[in-house]
Amino acid sequence: MDLAFDRRHIWHPYTSTLTPLTCYPVRSAKGVYLELESGEQLVDGMSSWWAAIHGYNHPVLNRAAHEQIDTLSHVMFGGITHQPAITLCQALLELAPDNLEQVFLADSGSVAVEVSLKMALQYWHAKGEPRSKFLTLRDGYHGDTFAAMSVTDPDNSMHSLYKGFLPEHIFARSPQTGFWQTWQPSDLDDFRHQLANHHQEIAAVILEPIVQGAGGMRIYHPEFLKGVRQLCDDYGVLLILDEIATGFGRTGTLFACEHAEVQPDILCVGKALTGGYMTLSATLTTRHVADTVCSGEAGCFMHGPTFMGNPLACAVASASMTLLKSGEWQTQVAGIERQFSSLLPRLKKHKKVKDVRWLGAIGVVETTTAVDMENIQAHFVEQGVWIRPFGRLIYMMPPFISEPEHIERLVMAVESALNEESCFLTQTES
Ligand code: PMP
């Protein structure tokens, strides 16, 4: 592999061209293992950013892709439909909260979020009451495109870089009560206050249910979400739930909103939708929102990407939905959660550790100083695992098929990194 070319010419996520970090060449992947060009096998702790829930190179997903590619890889969705899209949307509606009836397929998580925001804006426009603000939470993350970024934490996504261009929305304090802690009703005060003050200009509330992912791996109390749903109902504001990271079993329920027994008006899914095979997302909504949107001036929903409903992606996603419908994920995720709950508390005593937390197949170790990316990544590879931390967060979200020995390998590797001074920046550097 021409790694010098890669280093010189190819941008990787959030990396500098001046000081690019090492990239590890992967040759293949199977089950929970990533195989490096050198032949080393790494136990995957990331599911390729929440996506590869069934593991890599899965025979059922492979078969779906092969069969589809020999029939129809892609065709435009305007004026045309096909079985892979119909089968997938049927499966999605069967699995998703039962108030949702209409599916919009798009390319990526960020685009699903853009679509959800546009739906909310068109909804109010059609009602003859145009609104232009969104209420969201601090420490949230919704994607890297502009509208998605505008509702992402302003400090984490550096809104200051885009001042004057990026729309400005309303941010409420993020939930402070952890999932396993005793609920503190005052947690909702700021959110309630913001909604009370601004509800007439707010088209929708958008947030990540239960787990705030890339904005800090914060796992919060279901009562917060319940309160949000109630307040949205009280003020007649739409609720968009971004389940792009949490959807399809990751938190122990099929959708994280089930922990709070609430249903959104608009739901965004992506990532694990195709079992991590290719990019595809969906935005689901109610009959009422969909029909209101289309009753407005435009007469339709104003969006239609080139690769909308890509048959290849839909076929693989349908196969992934079939795997989920077997229900095995429930035992697998519950087993991973049990293991995190028995292994992680021990790490909390470590001087480098500020907090540990877990839910479903998510395990998080928050450290007191930021990691040294280059060194900690090399250390993990030496330990035979693939974990990619950021800042003060070392987190694991392994494929659901991980066996107890794999989870143990991951947690042991984290523990060994905690004991390596070179894996962390000094207090002043971080
Ligand atoms: N929303 C959430 C909650 C996410 O975690 C992500 C991806 N990290 C996105 C949106 C954006 O998805 P994508 O990277 O596919 O555009």
Tens-level pLDDT at each residue, the chain (430 residues): 999 999 999 999 999 999 999 999 999 999 999 999 999 999 999 999 999 999 999 999 999 999 999 999 999 999 999 999 999 999 999 999 999 999 999 999 999 999 999 999 999 999 999 999 999 999 999 999 999 999 999 999 999 999 999 999 999 999 999 999 999 999 999 999 999 999 999 999 999 999 999 999 999 999 999 999 999 999 999 999 999 999 999 999 999 999 999 999 999 999 999 999 999 999 999 999 999 999 999 999 999 999 999 999 999 999 999 999 999 999 999 999 999 999 999 999 999 999 999 999 999 999 999 999 999 999 999 999 999 999 999 999 999 999 999 999 999 999 999 999 999 998 777 7
Is 250 near ligand 1, meaning CB less than 6 Å away? no
- For residue 26, give both structure tokens: 């992967």
Pairing label, strands 133-137, 362-367: unpaired
Instruction: Give residue 112 CA to ligand 1 midpoint distance, Å.
Output: 9
Count the alpha carbons within 13 Å of 285 in the hemisphere toward its beta carbon.
26
Q: Please give the single-letter amino acid code of residue 228.
A: V
Give the atom of ligand 1 at the shortest distance from the alpha carbon of 140.
3
User: For residues 199 and 224, what is the distance between their CA atoms, to the nearest angstrom?
Assistant: 18
What is the C-alpha radius of gyration for the chain, rounded to an integer number of angstroms?
Answer: 21
Instruction: Give residue 151 CA to ligand 1 midpoint distance, Å.
Output: 12
User: For residues 134 and 117, what is the distance between their CA atoms, to the nearest angstrom?
Assistant: 8
Is 113 near ligand 1, meaning CB less than 6 Å away? yes
Is 276 near ligand 1, meaning CB less than 6 Å away? no
Instruction: Give residue 148 CA to ligand 1 midpoint distance, Å.
Output: 9
- The answer to whether residues 397 and 361 touch, using CB atoms and an 8 Å cutoff, is yes
Q: Which of 211, 220, 248 is nearest to 400 (CA)?
A: 248
Pairing label, strands 33-36, 41-44: antiparallel
Helices and strands (H and E) in the chain: how many: 13, 16
Instruction: Give residue 38 CA to ligand 1 midpoint distance, Å.
Output: 31
Q: Which of 265, 275, 4, 300 is nearest to 120 (CA)?
A: 265
Instruction: Give residue 319 CA to ligand 1 midpoint distance, Å.
Output: 22
The torsion of the CA quartet 160, 161, 167, 173, rounded to 10 degrees, works out to -40
Report, as residue numbers or ranges, the catalytic residues.
14, 141, 242, 271
User: For residues 189 and 210, what is the distance between their CA atoms, to the nearest angstrom?
Assistant: 18
To test the pocket of ligand 1, the residue of 49, 114, 117, 141 to mutate (highest count of ligand atoms within 8 Å of its CB) is: 141
Residue ID of nearest Cα to ligand 1 atom 10:
142
Three-state DSSP at 186 gives: helix
To test the pocket of ligand 1, the residue of 105, 110, 149, 156 to mutate (highest count of ligand atoms within 8 Å of its CB) is: 110
To test the pocket of ligand 1, the residue of 142, 248, 278 to mutate (highest count of ligand atoms within 8 Å of its CB) is: 142
User: For residues 341 and 221, what is the distance between their CA atoms, to the nearest angstrom?
Assistant: 17
Residue ID of nearest Cα to ligand 1 atom 15:
109
pLDDT for res 428 = 76
Give the atom of ligand 1 at the shortest distance from the alpha carbon of 243.
3
Tokens 């045309």 map to which residue? 80
- For residue 295, give both structure tokens: 């009753």
Instruction: Give residue 269 CA to ligand 1 midpoint distance, Å.
Output: 9
To test the pocket of ligand 1, the residue of 206, 271, 278 to mutate (highest count of ligand atoms within 8 Å of its CB) is: 271
Q: Which of 68, 207, 236, 81 is nearest to 137 (CA)?
A: 207
Instruction: Give residue 143 CA to ligand 1 midpoint distance, Å.
Output: 5
